[in-house]
Amino acid sequence: MKSLSFLKSYKKEVILAPTFKLLEASFELFVPLVVKDIIDNGIRNSDKGYIIMRCLLLVLLAVVGLVSSITAQYFAARAATGAGTKLRSALFRKIQSLSFKQIDDTGSATLITRMTSDVNQIQTGINMFLRLLLRSPFIVVGAVIMAYYVDFKTAHIFTVVALLLSLIVFLVMFFTIPKYKLVQNQLDDVLLHTKENIKGVRVIRAFTQEENEVKAFKGENAKLLKLQKISNAISSIMNPATFVVINLGIIALIYAGAVRVDYGIITQGAVVALYNYMSQILVELIKLANLIITETKALACKNRVDAVLSMEEYKKPAGKDKITNHLVTFHNVSLSYNDNREYSLHNISFNVDKGETIGIIGGTGSGKTSLINLLCGFYEPTIGSVYIGDKNILNMSDKELDNSISLVMQRAVMFRGTIRENITFGKYNASDADIENAVAVSQSDVIVEKKSRGLEEFILEQGKNLSGGQKQRLSIARALVRNTPILILDDSFSALDYQTDKKLRKALEESSKDRTTFIISQRTSTIQNCNKILVLSEGELVGIGTHNELLENCSEYKDIYISCNREVS
């Protein structure tokens, strides 16, 4: 689906906007002829009545032209804003459907730019296109034809001027089109830097890196400024060049006209009419030049938006199902992000039965979250297979996975809205009993009770009016309310104190005996009561067993355990 296809819903507006604009242009072309009549007949003969009648005709032409212009603007704006709205919605839906790998490859900053700045530029381009694309050439050609009608020989000057101006416009556009594409790409980089700074503002201030980040941003902005200066410098040649050509044309026109008036070939009113037509050509060619600049930008943006819309729908490759007799099975699984040769996970194999609680622990970068990404179907195994029940995860639809797994991500994400809306984000039809149970188990009841409006308390963007621990508990409540067979807690206790951590673990154990829970943690105390603990190190599974078994047989786990006990003491 291409971006301009959204104009199909506005066929009437697409036709009526330029039609009314051409109607306005037609009336405008008659104005110099009326002025000619006023000079040649009214002023020369001192006929006040004739002058008044012709002036009233000018007013009528102006009123009809104004009404036509407003009507054209209405239809053009309706088509542009409507198509822009639909395009933005389609682009948002497309981005939502992209796989994690496609988003990683494209970049979130680029996607944001294309859905905001690029779509706005396309919308402006459509508006200007419908209003001016036919009008400006129509006036230029019409003015030349009318000039030939007024005086054939003098009108040759118009032909020469029009050709020279067209050449100037073409050359300027030829050199500016590539520059505008570079400007949009650099805008992506500026947005990426801005986005990172806004998200990481607390880290930047904590390490007093404001000056360095400002310096880096100025560097990116300077590159954008340089590209814009170059493209604008080339574009700025257009106006003075066209003015020079037009003024030279006017000088030639007045000279030739004066000579022909002296010889009695044409009238003084005819010279004024020719001058007016030359002025119309000047104005319209400048408008056309600006239109081409706008359309050039819009075309570059259209290509960028179309590239996203044209991305192939992600289709998981088929996998082989097999009877496993386990709820979750990893069989010789390896994972490499973006086809890198280095594996984030290498040759991982383990089984999990229904109702078990599985702990996952390891150092930073050991592959804990990568393991969960595979289980949730966010990424495909580079080698090996993942099974839920007897079904290969590659053969499971998004809905099947959604009904099987609830995930609390490593970074607690809160949305702007009420506490209730955040908790029921994954299950809008959750009953009050389900919500109360999820709030109690996640130890969020303390949070709700302290708020004056309870579940209807408003949460700011990204949960800025909540602490880290509060956001984590509400995230857990959001997962629990869905009541799926598998619950994944990806380092979701890191911001909790040890007492709340202990209460939450106990409540989870008691809330559902049939639920299988995966707990990723940096603390051995959080996972030591799990039925099975997986120990990861540099992407490899170096230990599997209970807490006591791993203390005896796994040196990596023992080191983590000793380190955690030192922190507590």
- Return the domain boundaries, the chain: 3-309, 328-411+485-568
User: What are the residue ranges in the chain where pLDDT is below 50?
Assistant: 569
pLDDT at 518: 92
In contact, 343 and 335? CB cutoff 8 Å = yes
Strands 532-537 and 540-545: antiparallel
- The predicted structure's pLDDT at residue 340: 64
Note the pLDDT tens digit of each residue in 251-275: 888 888 888 887 778 788 888 888 8
Q: Which of 288, 282, 367 is nearest to 541 (CA)?
A: 367
Distance CA 66, CA 117 (A): 31
Within 8 A by CB and 6+ apart from 84, the residues are 119, 120, 122, 123, 126
Question: What is the pLDDT, as a whole number, of residue 569?
Answer: 47
Architecture of domain 3-309: Up-down Bundle (1.20)
Compute CA distances 476 → 409, 416, 424, 534, whole Å: 9, 17, 11, 22
CA distances from 143 to 28, 34, 153, 284, 513 (A): 10, 14, 15, 10, 85
The secondary structure of the chain in percent helix, strand, coil, rounded to multiples of 5, reads 65, 10, 20
The CATH class, in words, for 328-411+485-568 is: alpha beta
Alpha-carbon span 62 to 270, nearest angstrom: 21
Q: What is the pLDDT of residue 67?
A: 92
pLDDT (0 to 100) of residue 70: 92
CA dist., res. 51 & res. 269, Å (int): 13
| CB of 369 closer than 8 Å to CB of 323 | no
Residue 351, burial from CB neighbour count under 10 angstroms (0-12, 13-18, 19+): middle
